[in-house]
Amino acid sequence: MKHSRWVALTSLAAALVLLGSCGSGQRANAFNATPTITGLFPSNITVGSDAFTLFVAGTGFMSNSKGVTFVSWNGSPRSTSFNATTGELSVQIFQSDVAVGAGNTIQITATNPPPGGGVSTVSFSSEFKIVPSQNGLAITSLDPSTKMAGGGAFVLTVNGTGFGVNDVVVWNGSPRSTVIAPMSTTVATAQITADDIATAGSASVAVATSNQVTATPSKSFIIAGQNNPMPTISSLSPSSVAHGGPDLQVRVSGSGFASASTAELTAGISVTPLATAFISPSQLVVLIPAADTAAMGSATISVVNPAPGGGTSPNEPFTID
């Protein structure tokens, strides 16, 4: 009798544990992860560089129906897209972000929306440095300065001043096979691979010492694609929000969106560029800061595609109740 009662109690306990673990799993799946940053590429850039793409490695990044991960530069969100092939985030950094601040350390954070979610912990892996420039070390031109996406490997000629015999050309933070012209401090050539220009966008190019401690301000190399279409918006989700809430992710559906598409929020005469994530040619996600929904009113959202081609979509109403 005692043995039977023990078996029954044991079976009941096992069933409760199983039920609890299933419920726990469901709860875990219902919440977004808190992202973690493990690396930045490049992790530094010389003050005065052109705009560039920052690649962020880590865990817990998301891009699905529950929302997307946005990366912030010292707390200010930047347009961010998730690459499902590499698992990395590509982040658009403005020229104005690195125009000043030589010697400064920038905190890079990644944020996932609720439920769950949150902001990544600041660590050494998420610190980006703006490096002081060196007198006489600069790039004056690139030859060529643009290539079509999907083209073959080629030799890039970098013209400038102050190059050393062991310097290397750095492409998006990674060194490339480099030759400095004999008895010259003004010409460097580098082997650029087909993979380097596989996707339309831009790359940052610099000339650095062999240990990459000192480098020129970077220049943008344009990787051209087909002409961008004129974007159109068919719907916003949500299309309204109560004022005074937190930062809000809005899903923008439509057509003609491109990887370089950006969105704008217009309220009265105020136009605010929004951090934008490209999902597909028919979908974007934009991040509206809490400050822009602090007061009631009406606003509109539009999408801008850059040249070549491109243009600005008609405005779509967005209500702040």
**What residues does each domain of the chain span?**
36-131, 138-224, 232-320
For residue range 201-228, what is the model confidence (pLDDT) as tens digits? 899 999 999 888 899 999 999 999 889 9
- Which stretch of 34-38, 81-85, 107-111 has the lowest confidence by average pLDDT? 81-85
Q: What 8-state DSSP symbol labels residue 152?
A: -
Tell me what the pLDDT averaged over the chain comes to.
Answer: 90
Q: Is the CA virtual torsion 56, 61, 62, 66 positive or negative?
A: negative
- Strand ordering across the sheet containing 178-180: 138-143, 154-161, 187-192, 178-180
Residue 110 CB contacts under 8 Å (≥ 6 apart), including other chains: 35, 36, 37, 56, 58, 60, 61, 69, 70, 71, 72, 89, 119, 120
138-224 topology per CATH: Immunoglobulin-like (2.60.40)
Per CATH, the number for 232-320 is 2.60.40.10
- Give pLDDT, residue 29: 62
Average pLDDT of the segment spanning 272-291: 97
CATH superfamily of 36-131: Immunoglobulins (2.60.40.10)
pTM: 0.86
Q: Which two tokens stand for residue 116?
A: 């769950």
User: Between 17 and 219, where is the model more confident?
Assistant: 219
Ranking 24-33, 39-48, 274-283 by mean pLDDT, the lowest is 24-33
pLDDT at 23 over 70: no
| Cis ω before 144 (30° cut-off from 0) | yes
Would you say the CATH fold of 232-320 matches that of 36-131?
Answer: yes
Q: Is 171 exposed, middle or buried (0-12, 13-18, 19+ CB in 10 A)?
A: buried
pLDDT of residue 18: 37
